[in-house]
Amino acid sequence: MSLNYFNYLTDEHRMIQQAARDFAQNEIAPIAEEYDHSGDFPLKTIKMMGEMGFMGIEVPEEYSGAGMDTISYVLALEEISKADASHGAIMSVNNSLYCYGILRFGTEEQKQKFLIPIASGEKIGAYSLTEPMSGSDAGTMRSRAVLDGDEYVLNGLKSWVTSGPVADYLVVFMPTSPEDGHRGVSAFLVDAGTPGFKRGKKEPKLGIRASATSELMFEDCRIPAANRLGEEGEGFKIAMAVLDAGRIGIAAQALGIAEAAYEASVTYAKEREAFGQKIGQFQGIGFKLADMKTNIEAARGLIHRAALAKTHSKKTGQRYTLEASMAKLFASEMCMSVAHHAVQIHGGMGYSKEHPVERYFRDAKITEIYEGTSEIQRLVIARLETGLR
Ligand code: CAA
């Protein structure tokens, strides 16, 4: 039972929350186990999410988005992730890492060509920063983009690209003047049909198995110079600014997974009996549930605060890096801990593939890793708070 004190949620917020909840529980929850098992990409339900406006929630309607705010986005993403974290990962990358960057840094022509089909859900977008030797230390990429006339020639190997195996369009970051370090990185919009672009090995993963992840190979891949996003050398800052938005999405995904694990645990604690009583009557289980619930609500507070900061930044241009990193750090670690307790409360059942808590446990782990590990979030927060480096 919780009080209805979230009166900052408007009717529009509640509407999208309910629509996402109904869709997630009716269409996604019943297929989540099957897709986790097969590792197939859930194209049909992702397309349906596009039709419902979930793939470009904050994109204005003139660019075929839903034209809603960041609170609407996190409410919907939480509901989708509660049914299946893989759908949540695909939705988060499409909305935050792809659409947001073009909306904020793209030209009108780029928005017409690269934003509209992705925000409408007709096509799928991806974001490619990481390389085999450049993960947390994102400024040390070995790929190269060289200007040749009115084209850039892209070469290199990118890795860990969410939706890489299926994306139609990608935002790709590569150094144009490597001698300038992070100030020599540029951002590009790439059509996956361009000659010289190849999809590499698909990663076999512990969790979010239905969200396809792969390497990408660029071999003399020529793209129009007009596809550069922002100015030459601005790519690293674009990558970081976009990750601020992405991290709020991952925090909302973590919240959804944790809620699913928590609700399963409450149900089980009320049903399962041991030593002559419901296991929820034992203080050892009750205290776990109390901590899980408290931490879930604390995460929700940080996530909504970050969402409000992002909405505010659209007017002021102020960065919301601190709010986004705190939300992601707390929500992802909370999610892992809640999923861990959920497995323990379920005992043997929690370890069985016949019960979804085993999937929640595997899915939870990635939230502490992608879009900046917990260690990177702590580094970002500490640097911003102390001003020290
Ligand atoms: N917004 C705007 N600008 C920013 C910024 C932000 N959030 N963060 C940093 N910058 C700017 C800085 O102001 C600085 O600007 P100047 O050049 O004017 O000085 C510049 O960017 C460089 O910043 P730093 O000196 O802080 O850079 P750094 O090399 O020390 O790295 C870091 C900082 C925080 C460690 C960063 O590299 C980072 O976030 N690493 C993690 C990368 C990451 O999250 N990768 C995940 C990729 S996506 C993924 O997981 C796959 C997927 O498909 C989902």
Residues 257 and 210 both lie in one domain: no
Residue 4 lies in a domain: no
Does the CB atom of residue 31 touch ligand 1 within 6 A?
Answer: no
Residue 319 near ligand 1, beta carbon < 6 Å? yes
Range of the structural domain that residue 280 is part of: 236-386
Q: What is the pLDDT at residue 349?
A: 97
Regarding whether 173 and 264 lie in a shared domain, the answer is: no
From 185, 207, 233, the end of a domain falls on 233
Please indicate, yes or no, if residue 3 is contained in any of the structural domains: no
* pLDDT, tens digit only, all 389 positions of the chain: 444 555 789 999 999 999 999 999 999 999 999 999 999 999 999 999 999 999 999 999 999 999 999 999 999 999 999 999 999 999 999 999 999 999 999 999 999 999 999 999 999 999 999 999 999 999 999 999 999 999 999 999 999 999 999 999 999 999 999 999 999 999 999 999 999 999 999 999 999 999 999 999 999 999 999 999 999 999 999 999 999 999 999 999 999 999 999 999 999 999 999 999 999 999 999 999 999 999 999 999 999 999 999 999 999 999 999 999 999 999 999 999 999 999 999 999 999 999 999 999 999 999 999 999 999 999 999 999 999 99
pLDDT at 7: 76
Number of domains in the chain: 3
Last residue of a domain, one of 178, 212, 233: 233
218/282 same-domain check: no
Domain at 167, CATH number: 2.40.110.10
* Identified catalytic residue from 122, 371, 375, 385: 371
Judge whether 249 and 92 are in contact, CB under 8 Å. yes
209, part of any domain: yes
Q: Is 231 a catalytic residue?
A: no
User: For residue 126, which of 81, 85, 80, 173 has the smallest C-alpha distance?
Assistant: 173
- In a shared domain, residues 228 and 155: yes
Does residue 189's CB lie within 6 angstroms of at least one atom of ligand 1? no
Residue with tokens 């674009």: 238
**pLDDT of 187:** 99
**Sign of torsion, CA 190 195 199 200?**
negative
Check residue 1 and give its pLDDT.
43
340 and 282, same structural domain? yes
| Secondary element (H or E) of residue 154 | strand 151-162
215 lines ligand 1 (CB under 6 A): no
* 118 & 183 share domain: no
Q: Is the CB of 243 inside a 6 Å radius of any atom of ligand 1?
A: yes
CB-CB contact of 355 with 361 (8 Å): no
| Domain of residue 16, CATH code | 1.10.540.10
Do 212 and 311 lie in one domain? The reply is no
Ligand 1 atom nearest to CA at 236: 21
CA of 342 to the centre of ligand 1 (A): 34
SS3 string of the chain?
CCCCCCCCCCHHHHHHHHHHHHHHHHHHHHHHHHHHHHCCCCHHHHHHHHHCCCCCCCCCHHHCCCCCCHHHHHHHHHHHHHHCHHHHHHHHHHHHHHHHHHHHHCCHHHHHHHHHHHHCCCCCEEEECCECCECCCCCCCCCEEEEECCEEEEEEEEEEEECCCCCCEEEEEEECCHHHHHHHEEEEEEECCCCCEEEEEECCCCCCCCCCEEEEEEEEEEEEHHHEECCCCCHHHHHHHHHHHHHHHHHHHHHHHHHHHHHHHHHHHHHCEECCEEHHHCHHHHHHHHHHHHHHHHHHHHHHHHHHHHHHHHHHCCCCHHHHHHHHHHHHHHHHHHHHHHHHHHHHHHHCCCCCHHHHHHHHHHCCCCCCCHHHHHHHHHHHHHCCC
- Residue 6: inside a domain: no
Q: In angstroms, what is the span from residue 367 Cα to ligand 1's centroid? A: 18
Angstrom CA distances, 21 to 49, 365, 371, stand at: 12, 23, 25
- Examine the domain organization and report whether 135 and 112 are in the same domain: no
Same domain, 138 and 211: yes
